[in-house]
Amino acid sequence: MKVLLRDNSYDIIFASLSEIRNYIDIPAKTKILILSSPKIAKLYYPKLIASFKKDCHTFLYNLPPGEKTKTLTSVEKVYTFLIQNNFSRNDLIIALGGGVIGDLAGFIAATYLRGINYLQAPTTLLAQVDSAVAGKTGVNHPLGKNLIGACYQPRLVLIDKTTLSTLPQTELRSGLAEVIKYALIKDHRFFKQLEDDLTISNKMIAKCCLLKARIVQKDEKENNLRIILNFGHTIAHMLEAYTGYKRFFHGEAVALGMLAAAYISMKRNQLSAQDYQRIKKLITRANLPVKIDFKINFQRAKKIMLHDKKVKTNKLHFVLLRRIGDTSIANDIPWELVQDSLQNLK
């Protein structure tokens, strides 16, 4: 399956990693750096490079797994490797991994020699439906996540769904939260399909890629449309920060955040109680949490939320639902209502 992103310079291809050579046009002797981490490389590097073996020079650079790797220190190490191996602007970087490897590889590609070609081969559901699409790349700074970055498009995104077979269930569920998010913000029909069948398929992933790409492309014309991608993330970011990024997988925090935002939408008489229940039911069916199983100190939660970089005044900014598949933006949510929505997660 091929998903062509109109007005955009690259394709999203659904194919086996071993076929990647068929989809890119590179001259013989091109140097290719595959950026990955040990576990993923062990599983998929041989398959990925099989078709390049005859005429290209492939190099593997492994970084430790996890968010702590997404730093300028890692970036500098990879620059050194590229320079020592004489990589030129005509050579290529391939990201083989989840969002961490993808964001890092994209940032390195954007900045090394002011831009070198790169491809994304995402191996987590989250990366396939979210981070590999739309060209946001970057790394963390000790003072905050994703603060350093660049917009830089890959030449190609190749999605091999079979890589998800080795992904831990918790990571899969985490990606599913983002899948549900796309349906909630933009596509009622897609939501209904998920209610019928939550099995991960190429069709499901492609739908998410298209929805994200459409939102991002339209954003260039309609300012701030992109903000709806933050649905559920206002409270999710607070919960992640509140628990020191240790207690929740991102998708779990997003599931709780989406439910809280749906609750606020209902209390503002936008979303029907029936739709709220449908949302809760689907999140439960995806084995994502609908309850917070620890005591929240509301004062601490409030402090974190008011310091979030997305908050401009003391009023809280939220993406809400008008109904399933349609959003509205509110800049005037009082803290009491947010607290009420958190209380409801008990």
228 binding ligand NAD? (CB under 6 A):
no
Which one among 3, 14, 75, 130 touches ligand NAD, defined by CB under 6 A?
130
Nearer to ligand NAD by Cβ, of 99 and 232: the residue is 99
Give me the least distance between CB of 248 and ligand NAD, in Å please: 12
Residues of this chain, 187-206, that bind ligand NAD according to CB under 6 A: none
234 binding ligand NAD? (CB under 6 A):
no
**Window 55-74: contact mask with ligand NAD (x via CB under 6 A):** ----------xxx--x----
DSSP 262-305: HHHHHHTT-S-HHHHHHHHHHHHHTT---S--S---HHHHHHHH
Give me the least distance between CB of 102 and ligand NAD, in Å please: 7
The answer to whether the CB of 225 falls within 8 A of the CB of 219 is: yes
* Other beta carbons within 10 Å of 273: 8
Nearer to ligand NAD by Cβ, of 31 and 173: the residue is 173
* Rg (alpha carbons) of the chain, rounded to whole number: 20
Nearer to ligand NAD by Cβ, of 120 and 327: the residue is 120
**Window 8-47: contact mask with ligand NAD (x via CB under 6 A):** -----------------------------x-xx-------
Q: Which residue's beta carbon is nearest to the bound ligand NAD?
A: 99
3-state SS class at 219: helix
Q: How many residues sit close enough to ligand NAD to count as binding (CB under 6 A)?
A: 26
146 binding ligand NAD? (CB under 6 A):
yes
- Tokens standing for residue 220: 């260039």
CA distance 284 to 267: 21
CA distance 25 to 100: 26
141 binding ligand NAD? (CB under 6 A):
no
In the block, which residue shows the tokens 């917009």?
151
In the block, which residue shows the tokens 């890092």?
104
CA distance 176 to 301: 26
- Tokens standing for residue 279: 């949302």
Q: Which residues would be at the binding site for ligand NAD (CB under 6 A)?
A: 37, 39-40, 65-67, 70, 97-101, 103, 123-124, 126-127, 130-131, 134, 136, 146, 163, 166-167, 171
